[in-house]
Structure formats: C-alpha cells, structure tokens
Amino acid sequence: MLTIPETDLVVHELCLGGNVFGWTADEKQSHEVLSAYAAGGGNFIDTADVYSEWKEGNKGGESETIMGPWLKKQDRSKFVIASKVAKLSTRPGLRPENIIAACNESLQRLQTDYLDIYYSHHDDPDVPMAETLGAYAQLIAEGKIRYIAASQHTGPRLQEALDIAQRENLPSYIALQDEYNLMVRNPFEASQADVVAKNGLSALPFYGLARGFLSGKYRPGTQVQSVRAGDVEQYQTATGWATVAALDEIAKAHNCSISAVSLAWLRAHPQVSTPIASARTVEQLAEIMQIIDLTDEEVARLNAASAS
C-alpha cells in the first residue's frame, strides 16, 4: 500500500480500471472481478460517467451503475473511488453547472455519498479554469468529493491550473491521469512528468498495458480475438516485438506475468504512484495484481527496447 502525495489516501499498488464494466464485462463478471480485487487487498477503483457510452446500446454511466450495488454492500470507508466528468455526451465539458450535475448523477449511480477523487476528464479551454475549480470547491464544501485531479491535460495547462488554484485559493489538482506505457512514453516523459515532479504531485497512468498489447497475448503471426485487437496494430512493429521479448525474459526471471512486469516498469518511474489497469475476468485480474520490483538494469533494458 502507498499514500498518494498531497493526500491522506492510502491505496493499493494497482488501481483497478472500471472502463470494461458494462462493456466487455457484464454485471456478474464485473462483480466477480471487484470482489476478487478486494479479496486480494485492492481498494482503489477508477471509473467515469462516460464508461461505457461507446458500446452500441449504451448511454453512459454503465460502469458506475454496475459498481453501485457492489459498493453498497462494502465498507465504503475502506475504498478509494475515483470518477470523472467532461466526456459524457449528455454532460460535456467543465462548466460549473455541468460539473455539479454530473457529480450528483455519478454519486447516485455509484450509490455513495462522496467520491475520493473527482477528475476533469479532459481540458476544457472554453471554460475559465477558476470557474471549474470553483465548482469543485463547492462540491468539496458539501462533502461530495475529497480531492480533485486532472486527466489528459498538457504539462503547461496543468501548471496553469495549479498556479490559478494557488493564486485564488481554490482547490488544487493532486494528480495527473494520462496514457503512459512502454509503447506510449510521450507526452508524459516529454512535458508532463516535469510538471508533476515540480509540484509534488503524482501520475496515475491509464492504458498501462497498451490496450492489452503488453499483456503478452499478442505475438508475431498470431490472431487475437478481442474488441481491442484493432487498437494494438500500431504497436506490432519491430520495436513492439523487441519490447515484448524483453518483457518475456524479465517475467521468466521473476516468475510472474508479463503484465506484472509492464506495470512494474510504470511504478519504477519516480512520478508514478500507481498505474491503472482493467480486467474482464478474475484470471486476468490475477495477472495484473502480481506486484514485483524491477532492478535498475531491468528498467534500463525495457527503456532501451521500447525506444529502439
């Protein structure tokens, strides 16, 4: 367990992503994964109001709606629950009235009185940042959210938000969530990591397994039946296969899954608190919940392979 910087939130080394709940995992499967995660000591769950609007027949909010009945049966104080606002088609953007309405709807779906972390799911240049942060101040005062964080903000825009918060005595983002993994190392390394470090924040990267490519199930010349298979074609290059080969050897040395090594590489970054990864089944969950430490040499080897 670790404490997220700038907070009193003590979380597991793996944040369970809820993006598959209501998409590739139905309610029964989702509850099985949630229960197995909790049984393994997990307590940090990430969702969003937009999950999983993209599936045909869905309208958004499915992940939260599935999580709600499960969470209601738990000791709420033992879990750290994060959700997000801005991307749901019926609740777009970061205008104050939208943030407040979206938060209330998320709380209702999740069957909880508060969120531990509430994210701006993406930047909204059309809304003054002070107005957005002011809405979060109201929700914090009402006890509906504890901390706020930013998702998919550039380094300069994150710094601008932090500066405004300090100058105007408004709530400040405590973390940044964006895509970061062995196959997608920028913009995080190029422009975001320095801002995170300078301000003593933490990164909570999503797509830690590069949409499943870094789980080891993709191999040269093999066909994988997955809704994400098309998304990983971009990684099936000489660099991608060299990275998988390096992961293979390191996983063998640690007697663990390739997924565990991929996530351990993220944890080795000084600005990363805990990576986010999702699981459709309990079997997949077991692979990503293996927590290992890499040597400096192993980290360097993966850095070299993924940059080749």
> Residue-wise pLDDT tens for the chain (308 aa)?
999 999 999 999 999 999 999 999 999 999 999 999 999 999 999 999 999 999 999 999 999 999 999 999 999 999 999 999 999 999 999 999 999 999 999 999 999 999 999 999 999 999 999 999 999 999 999 999 999 999 999 999 999 999 999 999 999 999 999 999 999 999 999 999 999 999 999 999 999 999 999 998 888 867 666 666 567 889 999 999 999 999 999 999 999 999 999 999 999 999 999 999 999 999 999 999 999 999 999 999 999 999 87
On whether the CB atoms of residues 49 and 105 are closer than 8 A, the answer is yes
Q: What is the pLDDT of residue 179?
A: 97
* Burial (CB count <10 Å: 0-12, 13-18, 19+), residue 79: middle
Is the CATH code 3.40.140.10 the one for domain 2-210+258-293? no
Q: What is the DSSP letter of 122?
A: S
Nearest to 262 by CA among 273, 251, 274: 251
- Other CB atoms within a 10 A radius of the CB of residue 59 amount to 11
Nearest to 17 by CA among 290, 287, 202, 285: 285
Per-residue pLDDT of 232-254, as tens digits, reads 889 999 999 999 999 999 999 99
The C-alpha atoms of residue 222 and residue 219 are separated, in whole angstroms, by 6
Q: What is the pLDDT of residue 218?
A: 82
Nearest to 277 by CA among 53, 47, 89, 15: 15
Q: What is the pLDDT of residue 227?
A: 60
**What is the chain's alpha carbon radius of gyration, rounded to the nearest angstrom?**
19
